[in-house]
Amino acid sequence: MFLPRLKNYQKFENTMTLSFPLKVWCGDRPSRNLLAVLHEMMPYGEFVQAERDEATLTIEVYPAMVPSNRPEYYSFYAKDGKMSIMAKDYRGLVNAAATLAQAIRFEDGQFVMDEASINDYPNSTFRGVMLDPARHVVPMDEVRAIILGMAKSKYNKLHLHLCDHQGFSYYSDVYPDLPLSPGTTYTKDDLREIVSYSALFGIDVIPEIDLPAHSFNLTKTFANLKCHSVEEENGGEEVLSGWNICIGNEDSYTYIKNILTEVVEIFPYEYIHMGTDEISMDDIQREPRLSSFTCKCRVCNERFLPMGYDTLLPRFYYFVNRVYNIVNDLGKKMMMWNDQIDISNDAPEIPRDILIEFWRVAMPHRGPVEGCSMAAFVEAGFEVVNADYPNTYVDLYMKWNKLKDWNLRKDPADVPHVDFRILGGETCAWEGNNYPHYRHALYFTFPTFGDRCWNVTEPLADDTNTMLALTRACLGASVPADFNLFSYLRGVPLGDAYRMEGKIFAEEVDLAPLKATLESLTNLSVDQEHLKNNLLSLIV
């Protein structure tokens, strides 16, 4: 069994032994790029170019291969000591490499694999992971391990939440006084390295500049970006917090244009994520209130009252449209969180080609609630990425018993007549390394959530075969065939591992065999080495 599970797998009678260096014929430039992918996924082996008639493995892209309507489709064939990979595109090649990495076993001092025929493709076009360096910068070595783990589970999007109210996660040349996030701040070269390493695996990197809310870092540094009331200006009590930037102030749009111009020079992909979540937090009483750009802001009123915009929602739509135009002028498409859009209105005045990331219906006093379902967004004509927090968040919420059955096209929206607009899913890891449980939970999440995006309609079985496959997917070629990591754990610790406070092992289980097995594992890739060491650190 493989994770994500394969669409079509025919196992032949024999196994084949692999001898390294493995001779590889590359039929085109994308195939030659795959050599580096093979080295990263299988660092125990050397892969060298050879002529076709001498090669053990042949690789080529063939865009016209059937079926014609399935991006990332690939075929893999291994028989009589020879292997071949053929794919419709480069991402298909990477997916095939991920399958090969799981197929290889290290047994009795040799690398072996079953001879087989495989045809495989994803059921969703968006399979993403969100990292949150804004609240705590994720170290670069961990980022590389995460990207490799993503690639081996066949993801194609990495979403970076680059800024929040705590600060910015990278040094900006345009605004060098921006307050910085906790942890070791990224340089622009670090960001370019993330883009380059992700590109090796066909993973697009989506930067997020979260506005207008989550902006204490901006408004406390740049006073001109904060809303101000007439009372404040006359020396009275401060009533507007700076949680949101002032969307009535033209300086705010100058800032957005400048920061996005800097960002697009680093991230060459289709989308820019503009945040837009949690602008309304009326139930929280601090700093002094989180709400902003209300009727109390003189600058907002001077802009919006002549337009007839005397409430929050039309002012927010004005902001969305202004930002949309900035993003569009930079040659990009806009992506945003859903929770501040009143989709119960048949025609919210924002463009339908904005990609909506659905994470929740707003809580009372935190945005529009009635009728604001994910189904309503899909039926209104928006394309949607399913990031529904009870199913997708690794910080607190994701649980194996639910994830194994989760269908991203039915939960929380079951709209079969238009479900083609649900592009896929994204698992979100908020707060960087603040939560130590990410050091194991993320690596368990990649194969399981990856399967739910790859095989949308077919649930995962909660059985021994699945646990053995998940063990091998997480820890690699040297895992003994009958080793079930999760027999030592309290199930599969995902988001709920946060509440376990590091106590992920089952009670009254002898951990000595687990420790011995983990210590014996060799031939590990970087992500597997991270997981192994993190598990060993938890064994007292």
Contact 387, 130 (CB under 8 A): yes
Query: What letter would DSSP give residue 427?
Result: E
Are 225 and 323 in the same domain?
Answer: yes
Helices (H) and strands (E) in the chain, counts: 17, 18
Closest by CA to 457, choosing from 526, 410, 490, is: 410
pLDDT for residue 302 is more than 80: yes
Q: Note whether residue 113 is domain-resident.
A: yes
Q: Tell me the per-residue pLDDT of 256-287, one tens digit each, with 9 for 90 and over.
A: 999 999 999 999 999 999 999 999 887 776 65
Of the residues 81, 98, 120, the one at which a domain ends: 120
CATH code of residue 359: 3.20.20.80
CATH code of residue 95: 3.30.379.10
Are 281 and 336 in the same domain?
Answer: yes
CA–CA separation, 33 and 10 (whole Å):
28
In DSSP notation, 349-393 reads SS-TTSEEEE--PPPTTSS--TT--HHHHHHTT--EEE--HHHHB
Predicted TM-score of the model (pTM): 0.96
Q: Note whether residue 281 is domain-resident.
A: yes
**206 bridge partner residues:** 159
Are 182 and 97 in the same domain?
Answer: no
For 370, list phi and psi in degrees, rounded to 5: -60, 125
Number of domains, the chain: 2
Biggest CA–CA distance in the chain, Å, is 85
Of the residues 65, 100, 120, the one at which a domain ends: 120
Confidence tier at 434 by pLDDT (50, 70, 90): confident
Q: Exposed (0-12), middle (13-18) or buried (19+): which is 234, by Cβ within 10 Å?
A: exposed
Q: Tell me the per-residue pLDDT of 132-174, one tens digit each, with 9 for 90 and over.
A: 999 999 999 999 999 999 999 999 999 999 999 999 999 999 9
Q: How confident is the model over 346-355, as a mean pLDDT?
A: 91
Confidence tier at 233 by pLDDT (50, 70, 90): confident
Q: Note whether residue 404 is domain-resident.
A: no
What whole-number percentage of the chain has pLDDT above 90?
Answer: 87
Tell me which residue has tokens 């939560």.
435
Confidence tier at 119 by pLDDT (50, 70, 90): very high
Are 41 and 115 in the same domain?
Answer: yes
Are 267 and 150 in the same domain?
Answer: yes
CA–CA separation, 28 and 34 (whole Å):
10
CA–CA separation, 456 and 452 (whole Å):
5
pLDDT for residue 290 is more than 60: no
Are 37 and 139 in the same domain?
Answer: no
Confidence tier at 235 by pLDDT (50, 70, 90): confident
CA–CA separation, 368 and 341 (whole Å):
7
Q: Note whether residue 166 is domain-resident.
A: yes
Instruction: List the domain range (segments joined by +) for residue 103.
Output: 8-120
Q: Note whether residue 111 is domain-resident.
A: yes
Query: What letter would DSSP give residue 4?
Result: S
Are 263 and 178 in the same domain?
Answer: yes
CA–CA separation, 27 and 347 (whole Å):
50
Tell me which residue has tokens 């002529």.
51
pLDDT at 66: 72
Are 80 and 162 in the same domain?
Answer: no
Confidence tier at 231 by pLDDT (50, 70, 90): confident
Confidence tier at 289 by pLDDT (50, 70, 90): low
Residues 6 or more apart whose CB falls under 8 angstroms from that of 367 comprise 278, 279, 280, 339, 340
Q: How confident is the model over 477-490, as a mean pLDDT?
A: 96
Are 30 and 52 in the same domain?
Answer: yes
Are 75 and 136 in the same domain?
Answer: no
For 209, list phi and psi in degrees, rounded to 5: -110, 105
Are 89 and 131 in the same domain?
Answer: no
Are 134 and 116 in the same domain?
Answer: no
Q: Which two tokens stand for residue 30?
A: 């994308």
Per DSSP (E only), the strands in 132-225 are 157-161, 163-164, 167-168, 204-211
Q: Note whether residue 438 is domain-resident.
A: no
CA–CA separation, 521 and 471 (whole Å):
12
Of the residues 75, 99, 120, the one at which a domain ends: 120
